[in-house]
Chain A
Amino acid sequence: MTPAAQPVTRETLTGKHTAVLDLAKIRADFPILDERIHGQRLVYLDNAATSQKPRAVIDAIRHYYEHVNANIHRGVHALSVRATEAHDAARETVRRFLNAADTREIIFVRGATEAINLVAQTFGRVHVGAGDEILITAMEHHSNIVPWQILCAEKGAHLRVAPIDDRGELDLEAFAKLIGARTRLVAVTQVSNALGTVTPLRQMIELAHGRGIPVLVDGAQATPHMAVDVQALDCDFYAFSGHKVYGPTGIGVLYGKQDLLRAMPPYQGGGDMISSVTFEKTTYNDLPYKFEAGTPDICGAIALGAALEYIDRLGMANVAAHEHELLDYATAKVGALPGVQLIGTAPVRAGVLSFVMDSVHPHDLGTILDREGVAIRTGHHCAQPVMDRFKIPATARASFAVYNTREDIDALVDGIRKAHEVFA
Protein backbone atom coordinates (compact mmCIF):
# COMPACT_ATOMS: atom_id res chain seq x y z
CA MET A 1 0.00 0.00 0.00
CA THR A 2 1.44 3.28 -1.10
CA PRO A 3 0.33 6.26 0.91
CA ALA A 4 -0.88 9.25 -1.05
CA ALA A 5 1.07 11.73 1.04
CA GLN A 6 4.26 12.98 -0.58
CA PRO A 7 7.56 12.02 1.03
CA VAL A 8 9.13 14.71 3.15
CA THR A 9 11.79 16.70 1.32
CA ARG A 10 13.86 19.66 2.19
CA GLU A 11 11.53 21.85 0.18
CA THR A 12 8.57 20.78 2.32
CA LEU A 13 10.42 22.22 5.29
CA THR A 14 11.82 25.44 3.92
CA GLY A 15 10.22 25.96 0.56
CA LYS A 16 12.68 27.45 -1.90
CA HIS A 17 13.34 29.99 0.73
CA THR A 18 16.59 31.81 1.33
CA ALA A 19 17.08 33.16 4.82
CA VAL A 20 16.69 36.92 5.12
CA LEU A 21 17.65 37.33 8.74
CA ASP A 22 19.76 40.01 10.38
CA LEU A 23 21.95 37.68 12.44
CA ALA A 24 23.69 40.45 14.37
CA LYS A 25 20.34 41.83 15.44
CA ILE A 26 19.04 38.39 16.38
CA ARG A 27 22.15 37.64 18.44
CA ALA A 28 21.67 40.92 20.28
CA ASP A 29 18.19 39.68 21.25
CA PHE A 30 19.79 36.90 23.35
CA PRO A 31 21.62 38.45 26.34
CA ILE A 32 23.35 35.20 27.35
CA LEU A 33 25.33 35.16 24.10
CA ASP A 34 27.50 37.92 25.64
CA GLU A 35 28.73 35.52 28.34
CA ARG A 36 32.42 34.66 28.36
CA ILE A 37 33.12 30.98 28.96
CA HIS A 38 36.64 30.25 30.23
CA GLY A 39 37.53 33.62 28.77
CA GLN A 40 36.17 32.72 25.34
CA ARG A 41 33.17 33.83 23.30
CA LEU A 42 30.22 31.52 24.05
CA VAL A 43 29.47 29.24 21.11
CA TYR A 44 26.24 27.57 22.16
CA LEU A 45 25.58 24.43 20.12
CA ASP A 46 23.48 22.49 22.63
CA ASN A 47 20.13 23.78 21.46
CA ALA A 48 18.52 20.36 21.17
CA ALA A 49 18.92 20.10 24.95
CA THR A 50 17.54 23.57 25.54
CA SER A 51 17.57 26.82 23.64
CA GLN A 52 18.63 30.20 24.99
CA LYS A 53 15.97 32.82 25.67
CA PRO A 54 15.45 36.10 23.84
CA ARG A 55 14.99 39.31 25.79
CA ALA A 56 11.30 39.29 24.77
CA VAL A 57 10.81 36.14 26.89
CA ILE A 58 12.91 37.35 29.81
CA ASP A 59 10.99 40.65 29.76
CA ALA A 60 7.64 38.83 29.65
CA ILE A 61 8.56 36.92 32.82
CA ARG A 62 9.69 40.07 34.60
CA HIS A 63 6.64 42.01 33.43
CA TYR A 64 4.32 39.26 34.61
CA TYR A 65 5.63 39.26 38.17
CA GLU A 66 5.92 43.06 38.34
CA HIS A 67 2.55 43.95 36.84
CA VAL A 68 0.23 40.98 36.40
CA ASN A 69 0.71 38.22 38.98
CA ALA A 70 -2.53 36.77 40.41
CA ASN A 71 -4.29 33.44 40.24
CA ILE A 72 -6.44 32.82 37.19
CA HIS A 73 -10.09 31.85 36.65
CA ARG A 74 -11.32 32.72 40.13
CA GLY A 75 -10.71 36.26 41.28
CA VAL A 76 -13.00 39.15 40.47
CA HIS A 77 -10.22 41.61 41.14
CA ALA A 78 -8.36 43.45 38.41
CA LEU A 79 -5.09 41.52 38.58
CA SER A 80 -6.82 38.17 38.37
CA VAL A 81 -8.65 39.33 35.28
CA ARG A 82 -5.39 40.61 33.81
CA ALA A 83 -3.60 37.31 34.51
CA THR A 84 -6.49 35.25 33.12
CA GLU A 85 -6.58 37.31 29.93
CA ALA A 86 -2.82 37.03 29.44
CA HIS A 87 -2.97 33.27 30.03
CA ASP A 88 -5.86 32.90 27.57
CA ALA A 89 -3.96 34.97 25.02
CA ALA A 90 -0.95 32.65 25.35
CA ARG A 91 -3.17 29.65 24.63
CA GLU A 92 -4.44 31.40 21.51
CA THR A 93 -0.82 32.06 20.44
CA VAL A 94 -0.03 28.35 20.84
CA ARG A 95 -3.14 27.45 18.84
CA ARG A 96 -1.97 29.69 16.00
CA PHE A 97 1.58 28.27 16.23
CA LEU A 98 0.27 24.73 15.71
CA ASN A 99 -2.63 25.81 13.51
CA ALA A 100 -5.01 23.89 15.75
CA ALA A 101 -8.72 24.39 15.10
CA ASP A 102 -9.65 25.44 18.63
CA THR A 103 -7.96 26.61 21.85
CA ARG A 104 -9.83 23.84 23.69
CA GLU A 105 -7.39 21.45 22.00
CA ILE A 106 -4.38 23.15 23.61
CA ILE A 107 -3.47 21.72 27.02
CA PHE A 108 -0.68 23.30 29.01
CA VAL A 109 1.63 20.77 30.65
CA ARG A 110 5.20 20.84 31.98
CA GLY A 111 6.79 19.67 28.73
CA ALA A 112 6.68 17.06 26.00
CA THR A 113 7.46 14.36 28.56
CA GLU A 114 4.40 15.18 30.64
CA ALA A 115 2.27 15.50 27.51
CA ILE A 116 3.17 11.94 26.46
CA ASN A 117 2.66 10.60 29.97
CA LEU A 118 -0.73 12.30 30.04
CA VAL A 119 -1.84 10.47 26.91
CA ALA A 120 -0.41 7.17 28.20
CA GLN A 121 -2.22 7.52 31.52
CA THR A 122 -5.58 8.70 30.15
CA PHE A 123 -6.09 7.56 26.55
CA GLY A 124 -3.87 4.55 27.20
CA ARG A 125 -5.62 3.54 30.39
CA VAL A 126 -8.96 3.37 28.58
CA HIS A 127 -8.02 2.09 25.14
CA VAL A 128 -5.11 -0.28 25.71
CA GLY A 129 -5.68 -3.75 27.14
CA ALA A 130 -3.98 -7.11 27.48
CA GLY A 131 -2.46 -8.26 24.19
CA ASP A 132 -2.84 -4.85 22.54
CA GLU A 133 0.09 -3.08 20.92
CA ILE A 134 1.62 0.36 20.81
CA LEU A 135 3.91 1.13 17.88
CA ILE A 136 6.90 3.44 18.17
CA THR A 137 10.11 3.81 16.14
CA ALA A 138 13.73 2.91 16.90
CA MET A 139 14.70 6.59 17.07
CA GLU A 140 12.48 7.71 19.93
CA HIS A 141 13.73 9.70 22.91
CA HIS A 142 13.33 7.85 26.21
CA SER A 143 10.33 10.07 26.93
CA ASN A 144 8.46 8.44 24.04
CA ILE A 145 9.50 4.93 25.11
CA VAL A 146 9.26 4.66 28.88
CA PRO A 147 5.67 5.96 29.35
CA TRP A 148 4.53 3.26 26.93
CA GLN A 149 6.61 0.59 28.68
CA ILE A 150 4.97 1.53 31.98
CA LEU A 151 1.53 1.33 30.36
CA CYS A 152 2.33 -1.98 28.63
CA ALA A 153 3.57 -3.51 31.90
CA GLU A 154 0.40 -2.36 33.66
CA LYS A 155 -1.92 -3.69 30.98
CA GLY A 156 -0.10 -6.71 29.62
CA ALA A 157 0.24 -4.93 26.29
CA HIS A 158 3.23 -5.00 23.91
CA LEU A 159 5.53 -2.30 22.60
CA ARG A 160 6.42 -2.70 18.92
CA VAL A 161 9.38 -0.84 17.41
CA ALA A 162 9.73 0.11 13.73
CA PRO A 163 13.38 -0.19 12.65
CA ILE A 164 15.70 2.43 11.15
CA ASP A 165 18.42 1.93 8.54
CA ASP A 166 22.14 2.73 8.68
CA ARG A 167 21.52 6.34 7.71
CA GLY A 168 19.03 6.77 10.51
CA GLU A 169 15.97 6.76 8.27
CA LEU A 170 12.76 5.03 9.19
CA ASP A 171 12.02 1.78 7.36
CA LEU A 172 8.56 2.84 6.22
CA GLU A 173 7.70 -0.56 4.79
CA ALA A 174 8.51 -2.32 8.06
CA PHE A 175 6.57 0.38 9.89
CA ALA A 176 3.52 -0.29 7.72
CA LYS A 177 3.78 -4.02 8.37
CA LEU A 178 3.94 -3.49 12.13
CA ILE A 179 0.57 -1.76 12.14
CA GLY A 180 -1.73 -4.61 13.02
CA ALA A 181 -5.14 -5.56 14.31
CA ARG A 182 -4.01 -5.09 17.92
CA THR A 183 -2.31 -1.72 17.41
CA ARG A 184 -4.06 0.87 19.58
CA LEU A 185 -1.76 3.84 19.16
CA VAL A 186 1.21 4.94 17.05
CA ALA A 187 3.62 7.24 18.91
CA VAL A 188 6.42 8.71 16.80
CA THR A 189 8.89 11.54 16.78
CA GLN A 190 8.87 14.18 14.08
CA VAL A 191 12.61 14.85 14.39
CA SER A 192 15.12 12.52 16.09
CA ASN A 193 16.98 14.29 18.89
CA ALA A 194 20.04 12.07 18.48
CA LEU A 195 20.24 11.88 14.67
CA GLY A 196 18.31 14.87 13.37
CA THR A 197 16.27 12.65 11.04
CA VAL A 198 12.97 14.16 9.93
CA THR A 199 10.46 11.31 9.81
CA PRO A 200 7.95 10.86 6.96
CA LEU A 201 5.16 11.86 9.29
CA ARG A 202 2.36 12.44 6.80
CA GLN A 203 2.88 9.03 5.25
CA MET A 204 3.06 7.38 8.68
CA ILE A 205 -0.11 9.09 9.82
CA GLU A 206 -1.91 8.14 6.63
CA LEU A 207 -0.86 4.50 7.07
CA ALA A 208 -2.06 4.45 10.69
CA HIS A 209 -5.33 6.23 9.90
CA GLY A 210 -5.93 3.75 7.11
CA ARG A 211 -6.28 1.20 9.90
CA GLY A 212 -8.23 3.56 12.13
CA ILE A 213 -5.37 4.02 14.59
CA PRO A 214 -4.64 7.39 16.21
CA VAL A 215 -1.15 8.90 16.10
CA LEU A 216 0.75 10.83 18.74
CA VAL A 217 3.61 12.99 17.50
CA ASP A 218 6.56 13.93 19.70
CA GLY A 219 7.34 17.37 18.33
CA ALA A 220 9.93 18.40 20.92
CA GLN A 221 12.76 18.57 18.35
CA ALA A 222 10.61 19.68 15.41
CA THR A 223 8.90 22.79 16.76
CA PRO A 224 12.13 24.85 16.95
CA HIS A 225 13.01 24.13 13.33
CA MET A 226 9.90 23.94 11.14
CA ALA A 227 6.38 25.22 10.82
CA VAL A 228 3.90 22.75 12.27
CA ASP A 229 0.30 22.44 11.10
CA VAL A 230 -1.52 19.82 13.14
CA GLN A 231 -4.58 20.01 10.88
CA ALA A 232 -2.56 19.43 7.72
CA LEU A 233 -0.66 16.60 9.44
CA ASP A 234 -3.97 15.28 10.74
CA CYS A 235 -2.17 13.92 13.82
CA ASP A 236 -4.33 13.07 16.82
CA PHE A 237 -1.95 14.24 19.54
CA TYR A 238 1.07 16.53 19.34
CA ALA A 239 3.49 17.16 22.18
CA PHE A 240 6.20 19.81 22.53
CA SER A 241 8.32 21.56 25.14
CA GLY A 242 8.49 25.33 25.55
CA HIS A 243 12.14 25.50 26.52
CA LYS A 244 13.35 24.09 23.21
CA VAL A 245 11.52 26.85 21.28
CA TYR A 246 13.07 29.78 23.15
CA GLY A 247 10.53 29.64 25.99
CA PRO A 248 11.15 28.89 29.67
CA THR A 249 11.56 25.43 31.19
CA GLY A 250 8.60 23.87 32.99
CA ILE A 251 5.98 24.66 30.35
CA GLY A 252 4.91 22.62 27.35
CA VAL A 253 1.88 21.72 25.31
CA LEU A 254 -0.25 18.75 24.46
CA TYR A 255 -2.47 19.21 21.43
CA GLY A 256 -5.26 16.69 21.04
CA LYS A 257 -8.25 16.41 18.74
CA GLN A 258 -11.36 17.49 20.62
CA ASP A 259 -13.37 14.30 20.24
CA LEU A 260 -10.48 12.23 21.59
CA LEU A 261 -9.82 14.59 24.49
CA ARG A 262 -13.50 14.65 25.43
CA ALA A 263 -13.67 10.88 25.63
CA MET A 264 -10.54 10.61 27.77
CA PRO A 265 -10.68 10.44 31.58
CA PRO A 266 -8.95 13.26 33.45
CA TYR A 267 -5.21 13.08 34.16
CA GLN A 268 -4.83 14.54 37.64
CA GLY A 269 -7.56 15.53 40.05
CA GLY A 270 -7.71 18.89 41.78
CA GLY A 271 -8.82 22.47 41.43
CA ASP A 272 -9.69 24.08 38.10
CA MET A 273 -10.39 20.73 36.41
CA ILE A 274 -13.87 20.41 37.95
CA SER A 275 -17.30 21.99 37.38
CA SER A 276 -18.71 20.96 40.72
CA VAL A 277 -17.61 18.78 43.58
CA THR A 278 -19.67 17.07 46.25
CA PHE A 279 -18.54 14.08 48.25
CA GLU A 280 -20.96 11.98 46.20
CA LYS A 281 -20.15 13.16 42.69
CA THR A 282 -17.74 15.40 40.86
CA THR A 283 -18.40 16.83 37.42
CA TYR A 284 -15.33 17.58 35.36
CA ASN A 285 -14.69 20.89 33.73
CA ASP A 286 -14.71 21.49 29.97
CA LEU A 287 -11.67 21.28 27.74
CA PRO A 288 -8.91 22.18 28.12
CA TYR A 289 -9.27 22.69 31.89
CA LYS A 290 -10.24 19.06 32.49
CA PHE A 291 -6.56 18.20 32.00
CA GLU A 292 -5.12 21.15 33.92
CA ALA A 293 -5.59 20.40 37.61
CA GLY A 294 -4.14 22.86 40.08
CA THR A 295 -2.75 26.35 39.59
CA PRO A 296 -0.81 26.14 36.33
CA ASP A 297 2.52 27.72 35.42
CA ILE A 298 0.76 30.95 34.46
CA CYS A 299 3.91 32.96 33.88
CA GLY A 300 5.49 30.07 31.96
CA ALA A 301 2.56 29.89 29.55
CA ILE A 302 2.63 33.64 28.99
CA ALA A 303 6.41 33.55 28.43
CA LEU A 304 5.99 30.65 25.99
CA GLY A 305 3.49 32.80 24.13
CA ALA A 306 6.14 35.54 23.98
CA ALA A 307 8.67 33.04 22.59
CA LEU A 308 6.31 31.84 19.86
CA GLU A 309 5.49 35.43 18.93
CA TYR A 310 9.23 36.11 18.71
CA ILE A 311 9.65 33.21 16.24
CA ASP A 312 6.64 34.45 14.32
CA ARG A 313 8.23 37.89 13.95
CA LEU A 314 11.39 36.29 12.52
CA GLY A 315 9.30 34.02 10.31
CA MET A 316 9.59 30.26 10.74
CA ALA A 317 10.47 29.85 7.05
CA ASN A 318 13.44 32.20 7.57
CA VAL A 319 14.51 30.33 10.70
CA ALA A 320 14.28 26.96 8.93
CA ALA A 321 16.17 28.17 5.87
CA HIS A 322 18.95 29.65 8.01
CA GLU A 323 19.29 26.52 10.12
CA HIS A 324 19.36 24.26 7.07
CA GLU A 325 22.09 26.36 5.57
CA LEU A 326 24.04 26.01 8.85
CA LEU A 327 23.45 22.27 8.99
CA ASP A 328 24.69 21.86 5.40
CA TYR A 329 27.78 23.93 6.20
CA ALA A 330 28.46 21.97 9.42
CA THR A 331 27.86 18.61 7.74
CA ALA A 332 30.38 19.45 5.00
CA LYS A 333 32.99 20.92 7.38
CA VAL A 334 32.79 18.38 10.20
CA GLY A 335 32.19 15.45 7.86
CA ALA A 336 35.40 16.28 5.98
CA LEU A 337 37.60 16.11 9.10
CA PRO A 338 39.84 13.03 9.20
CA GLY A 339 38.73 10.34 11.64
CA VAL A 340 35.23 11.80 12.01
CA GLN A 341 32.18 9.68 11.31
CA LEU A 342 28.76 11.30 11.12
CA ILE A 343 26.01 9.35 12.88
CA GLY A 344 22.68 10.01 11.19
CA THR A 345 23.04 10.84 7.53
CA ALA A 346 19.41 10.86 6.43
CA PRO A 347 18.93 13.22 3.49
CA VAL A 348 16.35 15.28 5.37
CA ARG A 349 17.52 16.32 8.81
CA ALA A 350 16.88 19.27 11.07
CA GLY A 351 18.99 21.06 13.61
CA VAL A 352 21.28 18.23 14.71
CA LEU A 353 24.75 17.01 13.74
CA SER A 354 25.81 13.86 15.60
CA PHE A 355 29.27 12.34 15.18
CA VAL A 356 32.00 10.17 16.65
CA MET A 357 35.79 10.38 16.26
CA ASP A 358 38.37 7.61 15.93
CA SER A 359 40.86 9.32 18.19
CA VAL A 360 38.73 11.11 20.77
CA HIS A 361 35.90 9.87 22.98
CA PRO A 362 32.87 12.21 22.88
CA HIS A 363 33.26 13.00 26.56
CA ASP A 364 36.87 14.13 26.15
CA LEU A 365 35.88 16.15 23.10
CA GLY A 366 33.13 17.83 25.14
CA THR A 367 35.62 18.88 27.82
CA ILE A 368 38.15 20.25 25.32
CA LEU A 369 35.48 22.14 23.36
CA ASP A 370 34.11 23.59 26.58
CA ARG A 371 37.47 25.20 27.29
CA GLU A 372 37.18 26.84 23.86
CA GLY A 373 33.79 28.24 24.84
CA VAL A 374 31.97 25.71 22.61
CA ALA A 375 29.03 23.97 24.30
CA ILE A 376 27.92 20.68 22.77
CA ARG A 377 26.21 17.63 24.21
CA THR A 378 28.03 14.34 24.56
CA GLY A 379 26.52 11.02 25.60
CA HIS A 380 23.55 8.92 24.56
CA HIS A 381 21.11 11.86 24.37
CA CYS A 382 18.40 9.94 26.23
CA ALA A 383 18.16 7.70 23.20
CA GLN A 384 20.10 4.60 24.24
CA PRO A 385 18.34 2.34 21.70
CA VAL A 386 19.65 4.62 18.94
CA MET A 387 23.20 4.24 20.31
CA ASP A 388 22.72 0.45 20.46
CA ARG A 389 21.48 0.47 16.85
CA PHE A 390 24.74 2.09 15.73
CA LYS A 391 26.80 -0.01 18.21
CA ILE A 392 28.34 3.02 19.87
CA PRO A 393 28.13 4.09 23.53
CA ALA A 394 27.80 7.79 22.81
CA THR A 395 28.08 10.56 20.24
CA ALA A 396 29.07 14.19 20.22
CA ARG A 397 26.11 16.31 19.15
CA ALA A 398 26.12 19.85 17.88
CA SER A 399 22.63 21.31 17.54
CA PHE A 400 21.61 24.61 16.07
CA ALA A 401 19.31 27.53 16.72
CA VAL A 402 18.45 30.68 14.85
CA TYR A 403 21.23 32.70 16.55
CA ASN A 404 24.04 30.37 15.44
CA THR A 405 26.40 31.48 12.71
CA ARG A 406 29.02 30.04 10.39
CA GLU A 407 31.63 31.41 12.82
CA ASP A 408 30.11 29.12 15.47
CA ILE A 409 30.62 26.12 13.20
CA ASP A 410 34.18 27.24 12.46
CA ALA A 411 34.86 27.40 16.21
CA LEU A 412 33.48 23.87 16.55
CA VAL A 413 35.71 22.63 13.73
CA ASP A 414 38.80 24.32 15.24
CA GLY A 415 38.01 22.71 18.60
CA ILE A 416 37.62 19.27 17.03
CA ARG A 417 41.00 19.72 15.32
CA LYS A 418 42.61 20.68 18.64
CA ALA A 419 41.14 17.64 20.38
CA HIS A 420 42.42 15.44 17.57
CA GLU A 421 45.92 16.88 18.03
CA VAL A 422 45.86 16.14 21.76
CA PHE A 423 44.76 12.54 21.34
CA ALA A 424 46.06 11.40 17.97
Chain B
Amino acid sequence: MTAELGDLYQEVILEHSKAPRNFRRPAAANHEAEGYNPLCGDRCSVYIEMDGEAIKEIGFQGSGCAISRASASMMTQMVKGKTKAEAAKLFEQFHQLVTGKDEAARADELGKMAVFAGVSKFPARVKCATLAWHTMQSALEHNKKPEPVSTESAREL
Protein backbone atom coordinates (compact mmCIF):
# COMPACT_ATOMS: atom_id res chain seq x y z
CA MET B 1 0.00 0.00 0.00
CA THR B 2 1.36 3.45 -0.88
CA ALA B 3 2.03 5.98 1.88
CA GLU B 4 -1.00 8.08 0.92
CA LEU B 5 -3.27 5.04 0.94
CA GLY B 6 -1.84 4.11 4.32
CA ASP B 7 -2.70 7.60 5.57
CA LEU B 8 -6.25 7.21 4.30
CA TYR B 9 -6.89 3.69 5.53
CA GLN B 10 -5.27 3.93 8.95
CA GLU B 11 -5.59 0.92 11.21
CA VAL B 12 -8.06 2.67 13.50
CA ILE B 13 -10.27 3.59 10.52
CA LEU B 14 -10.26 0.02 9.23
CA GLU B 15 -11.03 -1.25 12.70
CA HIS B 16 -14.00 1.08 13.16
CA SER B 17 -15.33 0.28 9.67
CA LYS B 18 -15.33 -3.43 10.47
CA ALA B 19 -16.81 -3.07 13.95
CA PRO B 20 -18.64 0.25 14.06
CA ARG B 21 -19.57 1.58 17.52
CA ASN B 22 -23.09 2.75 18.36
CA PHE B 23 -24.42 1.04 15.23
CA ARG B 24 -28.02 1.10 16.48
CA ARG B 25 -31.01 3.24 17.13
CA PRO B 26 -31.05 4.33 20.80
CA ALA B 27 -34.43 3.42 22.32
CA ALA B 28 -35.13 6.94 23.58
CA ALA B 29 -33.96 8.77 20.41
CA ASN B 30 -35.96 11.93 19.90
CA HIS B 31 -34.05 13.39 16.97
CA GLU B 32 -33.16 11.68 13.71
CA ALA B 33 -32.16 12.36 10.13
CA GLU B 34 -31.25 10.38 7.04
CA GLY B 35 -28.20 11.23 4.93
CA TYR B 36 -27.63 10.20 1.35
CA ASN B 37 -24.74 10.48 -1.03
CA PRO B 38 -26.32 10.20 -4.48
CA LEU B 39 -22.94 9.84 -6.17
CA CYS B 40 -22.09 6.53 -4.54
CA GLY B 41 -25.40 5.41 -3.08
CA ASP B 42 -24.23 5.52 0.55
CA ARG B 43 -26.93 5.97 3.16
CA CYS B 44 -26.61 6.91 6.81
CA SER B 45 -29.24 7.46 9.48
CA VAL B 46 -28.31 9.27 12.70
CA TYR B 47 -30.42 8.97 15.86
CA ILE B 48 -29.97 11.23 18.87
CA GLU B 49 -31.47 11.38 22.31
CA MET B 50 -31.26 15.02 23.33
CA ASP B 51 -31.45 16.02 26.97
CA GLY B 52 -31.92 19.77 26.84
CA GLU B 53 -28.94 21.01 24.85
CA ALA B 54 -26.89 17.89 25.52
CA ILE B 55 -26.44 14.84 23.28
CA LYS B 56 -27.26 12.11 25.77
CA GLU B 57 -27.21 9.17 23.36
CA ILE B 58 -26.33 8.87 19.69
CA GLY B 59 -26.32 6.02 17.22
CA PHE B 60 -26.24 5.47 13.47
CA GLN B 61 -27.25 2.90 10.87
CA GLY B 62 -26.85 2.54 7.14
CA SER B 63 -24.56 1.23 4.43
CA GLY B 64 -21.42 2.81 3.15
CA CYS B 65 -17.72 2.58 2.46
CA ALA B 66 -15.03 2.15 5.09
CA ILE B 67 -14.42 5.89 5.35
CA SER B 68 -18.07 6.77 5.87
CA ARG B 69 -18.66 3.96 8.41
CA ALA B 70 -15.54 4.73 10.42
CA SER B 71 -16.29 8.44 10.37
CA ALA B 72 -19.83 7.82 11.61
CA SER B 73 -18.66 5.41 14.28
CA MET B 74 -15.97 7.71 15.66
CA MET B 75 -18.24 10.72 15.42
CA THR B 76 -20.80 9.09 17.70
CA GLN B 77 -18.09 8.43 20.29
CA MET B 78 -16.78 11.97 19.99
CA VAL B 79 -20.02 13.94 20.31
CA LYS B 80 -21.75 11.84 22.95
CA GLY B 81 -22.14 14.02 26.05
CA LYS B 82 -21.34 17.20 24.13
CA THR B 83 -23.76 20.10 23.70
CA LYS B 84 -25.33 20.95 20.37
CA ALA B 85 -22.99 23.94 20.02
CA GLU B 86 -19.91 21.87 20.84
CA ALA B 87 -20.92 19.23 18.28
CA ALA B 88 -21.39 21.92 15.63
CA LYS B 89 -17.92 23.31 16.39
CA LEU B 90 -16.39 19.82 16.11
CA PHE B 91 -18.03 19.38 12.72
CA GLU B 92 -16.55 22.64 11.56
CA GLN B 93 -13.10 21.56 12.71
CA PHE B 94 -13.51 18.10 11.18
CA HIS B 95 -14.58 19.66 7.91
CA GLN B 96 -11.47 21.82 7.84
CA LEU B 97 -9.33 18.80 8.64
CA VAL B 98 -10.65 16.60 5.81
CA THR B 99 -10.62 19.40 3.25
CA GLY B 100 -7.01 20.16 4.19
CA LYS B 101 -7.72 23.72 5.19
CA ASP B 102 -6.26 23.77 8.68
CA GLU B 103 -4.78 20.39 9.31
CA ALA B 104 -2.21 20.97 12.06
CA ALA B 105 -4.22 23.33 14.24
CA ARG B 106 -7.36 21.20 14.21
CA ALA B 107 -5.78 17.83 14.68
CA ASP B 108 -5.11 18.49 18.38
CA GLU B 109 -8.66 19.45 19.22
CA LEU B 110 -10.17 16.60 17.26
CA GLY B 111 -8.28 13.99 19.22
CA LYS B 112 -8.74 10.55 17.67
CA MET B 113 -10.59 12.01 14.70
CA ALA B 114 -7.25 13.42 13.53
CA VAL B 115 -6.70 10.07 11.75
CA PHE B 116 -9.00 11.43 9.04
CA ALA B 117 -6.41 14.02 7.97
CA GLY B 118 -5.38 11.62 5.17
CA VAL B 119 -8.75 12.16 3.49
CA SER B 120 -7.63 15.62 2.38
CA LYS B 121 -5.33 13.97 -0.18
CA PHE B 122 -8.38 12.25 -1.72
CA PRO B 123 -10.83 15.00 -2.69
CA ALA B 124 -13.27 12.44 -4.13
CA ARG B 125 -13.63 10.92 -0.64
CA VAL B 126 -14.36 14.05 1.41
CA LYS B 127 -18.09 13.45 1.08
CA CYS B 128 -17.70 9.93 2.46
CA ALA B 129 -16.04 11.33 5.57
CA THR B 130 -18.60 14.10 6.14
CA LEU B 131 -21.86 12.25 5.34
CA ALA B 132 -22.50 11.23 8.96
CA TRP B 133 -21.64 14.71 10.21
CA HIS B 134 -24.03 16.41 7.80
CA THR B 135 -26.68 13.94 8.90
CA MET B 136 -26.00 14.57 12.59
CA GLN B 137 -26.30 18.30 12.03
CA SER B 138 -29.63 17.80 10.31
CA ALA B 139 -30.82 15.55 13.16
CA LEU B 140 -29.84 18.15 15.74
CA GLU B 141 -31.96 20.71 13.96
CA HIS B 142 -35.06 18.55 13.61
CA ASN B 143 -37.13 16.68 16.14
CA LYS B 144 -38.78 14.51 13.55
CA LYS B 145 -37.24 12.87 10.53
CA PRO B 146 -36.82 15.60 7.89
CA GLU B 147 -36.26 15.17 4.17
CA PRO B 148 -33.04 13.21 3.61
CA VAL B 149 -29.97 15.45 3.64
CA SER B 150 -27.87 14.98 0.53
CA THR B 151 -24.14 15.50 0.20
CA GLU B 152 -24.98 17.25 -3.05
CA SER B 153 -26.87 20.05 -1.35
CA ALA B 154 -23.71 21.10 0.49
CA ARG B 155 -20.64 21.90 -1.55
CA GLU B 156 -17.54 20.38 -0.09
CA LEU B 157 -14.69 22.24 -1.76
Residues on A lying within 8 angstroms of B by beta carbon are: 38, 360-364, 367-368, 371, 378-380, 384, 387, 393-394, 418, 422-423
Contact = CB atoms under 8 A, between A and B. Distances in A.
B67 A364 contact: yes
A361 B41 contact: no
A378 B124 CA distance: 12
A371 B4 contact: yes
B45 to A, nearest CB: 14
Interface size class of B (residues with CB under 8 A): 20 to 34
A1 B8 CA distance: 57
B66 interface: yes
A226 B64 CA distance: 36
> Which 5 pairs between the two chains have the least Cβ-Cβ distance?
A393-B41, A361-B65, A363-B65, A394-B41, A380-B41
B40 A371 contact: no
In this complex, which of A363, A378, A418 has the most chain B Cβ atoms within 10 angstroms of its Cβ?
A: A363
Contacts, number: 54
B58 interface: no
B9 interface: yes
8 contacts: A362-B65, A363-B65, A368-B1, A368-B5, A380-B40, A393-B41, A394-B40, A394-B41
Nearest to A366: B124
A325 B124 CA distance: 33
A363 B40 contact: yes
B128 interface: yes
A387 B67 CA distance: 21
Nearest to B67: A364
Contacts of A380: 40-41
B95 interface: no
Nearest to B41: A393
Given A363-B42, A371-B2, 17 more contacts: A38-B2, A361-B64, A362-B40, A363-B64, A363-B125, A364-B66, A367-B5, A368-B1, A368-B5, A371-B4, A379-B41, A384-B41, A393-B41, A394-B40, A394-B41, A418-B1, A422-B9
A368 B65 CA distance: 12
Interface in B62-103: 63-67
Interface in B129-145: none
B128 A422 contact: no
